[in-house]
Amino acid sequence: MAVLVARTRAARAYAAAKMLARTAKSSMRYGVLALVLLGLAAARGRPGPRGRFLGVLWATHLGLLYVFTFAIGYVSRRHTLPALLPALGYAGLGAAAAGAWIQTRARWLWSRGGPALVAEGSAVPRWSLAATLMVAAVAAGELARQIPPRRGEELAGRRAAEWLADHAPAVAPVAATRLRLGYYARMPYVPLGGVADAALGPYLARAGARYVVLDEPGRVAAVAGASGLRVEPLQHLEAGGGEAWVFELSEERAGPATGH
């Protein structure tokens, strides 16, 4: 597999950490993440055996994911789930802590002559009701987010990779910014993310890439003008509000084709 090339090693390390953090946040969602942070705050203090176990689990798994991201420039939300699922217990703790705070605040308002927000002696503690309503609100919000089609902005890239799988003259390495595009093209994957525009030609030649699947309009000119390569546009697709291009590469030193 080709090695990811970036401007500097430090830049590549920072980009990998940023991508992993963004993916983990996307996996958990803002509502659940807020409850988890509340739960961790409520559980402050010296960790017990379970806390130490989860700490080791998170550090080990996220460390491996960071190495994975650094090596190939890609990580998926499903890869983060083994480390994030145990955190859902802290989301429940966070909901309980927030419910208890709401009850305390309501009693304070009542003591100052406010409306009867708390019913003393109720069979169901009011903090539990508040926590339940909070979890229900977060769940409803997350379910509502699933109604619209997901990854619409990535549809064009997928369609381009699938087109290449069906129409490529031969199976050969394909360069793309995400591993899944190589999967959809059913070809060996060459990572393109993090490669400086000026280094594209030498990098693609060393990696042995024959095709490029690109869904970033801002990089079309850089790929089309990659130095030392003949670049032929094979396909241009529009889907899901985005665009994608398929290029074929050869090492003939000819004038580069223009993207469109």
Which residues does the chain have with pLDDT short of 50? Answer: 1-7, 114-125, 254-260
pLDDT digits (tens, 9 = 90+) for 131-146: 667 667 766 766 666 5
What burial letters (b/e) apply to 98-125, b meaning 16+ CB within 10 Å?
Answer: bbbebbeebeeeeeeeeeeebeeeeeee
pLDDT, position 210: 93
Question: How many Å apart are CA 22 and CA 24, to the nearest integer?
Answer: 6
Residue 153 CB coordination number (10 Å): 12
> Residue with structure tokens 């203090």?
45
pLDDT, position 150: 52
Confidence (pTM): 0.49
Task: For the chain, list the domains and their CATH numbers.
Answer: 9-145 (no CATH), 152-250 (3.40.190)
Q: Exposure of 18 by Cβ count < 10 A (0-12 exposed, 13-18 middle, 19+ buried)?
A: exposed
